[in-house]
Amino acid sequence: MGNTPLLRLGRVTRGLAPAVELYAKAEWFNPSGSVKDRPAAAILRHGRETGALSPEKALLDSTSSNMGIAYATLGAALRLRVCLMVPANVTPERLAILRALNAEITLTDPLEGTEGARKSAVEVAAKDPDRYYFADQFSHPANWQAHYHTTGPELAEQTNAG
C-alpha cells in the first residue's frame, strides 16, 4: 500500500509556459484501487493498536462507496467483519463489489445521502458498542494523518522536494 507512482501529465500541459508541470499520483495501484486505502488502513491500524477493533468486533462505518470498498478489501485480507451503512442510491456496481468482498451492507434512505448513512452508523454503534468498532471516517484523525504520514512524504521524495 502506498509508494504509488507519480506520473507526469505532459500532454495536459503541452503548449503552456515551459515552467508548468503537472503530476498525478497513481493511487489506483493500491489494493482496492483508491486513495482511500491509505486512510482505511490507518483507521484499521489505529483500531487494532488501541484494542478498539478486535476479532470479536466488526468495523462499522458509513460510506458512499470508495472508503467502504477500501475497508472491505482490507477487512477481507485481515479476516475482519466489515459492516457498512450505505445510501440506497449507490450504484449497483459498487454494491456488487462490496458484497463480493463480504461486507455486510445496510442500505439507508437515499434522500438523506451520506449524512443519513452516518447517522444510522452512529445509532447502531451506540446501541451495541461491544459488537462494533465505529471507525467514523469523517472525524477520525487517522483519516487525514494517513496522507500527512504517507502521501505527503512520498510526493516530497518523488518531486525531489524532500
pLDDT(133) > 70: yes
Q: What secondary structure letter does DSSP report for 64? A: S
The confidence band for 39, taking pLDDT boundaries of 50, 70 and 90, is very high
Q: Give the CA angle between residues 102, 105, 107 to the nearest 5°.
A: 160
pLDDT(19) > 80: no
Domains of the chain as residue ranges with CATH = 37-144 (3.40.50.1100)
The average pLDDT across 50-78 equals: 96
The confidence band for 16, taking pLDDT boundaries of 50, 70 and 90, is confident
The average pLDDT across 10-39 equals: 89
Q: How far apart (Å, rounded) are the C-alpha atoms in residues 69 and 65?
A: 6
Q: What secondary structure letter does DSSP report for 111? A: G
Nearest partner of 136 among 59, 86, 61, 70, judged by Cα: 61
pLDDT(154) > 80: yes
Q: Give the CA angle between residues 113, 137, 73 to the nearest 5°.
A: 95
pLDDT digits (tens, 9 = 90+) for 78-124: 999 999 999 999 999 999 999 999 999 999 999 999 999 999 999 99
pLDDT(18) > 80: no
Say what the pLDDT of residue 162 is. 62
Q: What is the dihedral of CA 116, 119, 124, 126, to 10 degrees?
A: 180
The confidence band for 156, taking pLDDT boundaries of 50, 70 and 90, is very high
Report the Cα 82 to chain-centroid distance in Å.
13
Most distant CA atoms of the chain, gap in Å: 59
pLDDT: is 12 or 145 the higher one? 145
Q: How far apart (Å, rounded) are the C-alpha atoms in residues 93 and 76?
A: 18
Q: How far apart (Å, rounded) are the C-alpha atoms in residues 88 and 33?
A: 23
Strand runs (DSSP E) across the chain, as ranges? Answer: 6-8, 23-25, 58-62, 82-87, 104-108, 132-134
CA distances from 148 to 69, 74, 75, 136, 154 (A): 22, 20, 23, 19, 10
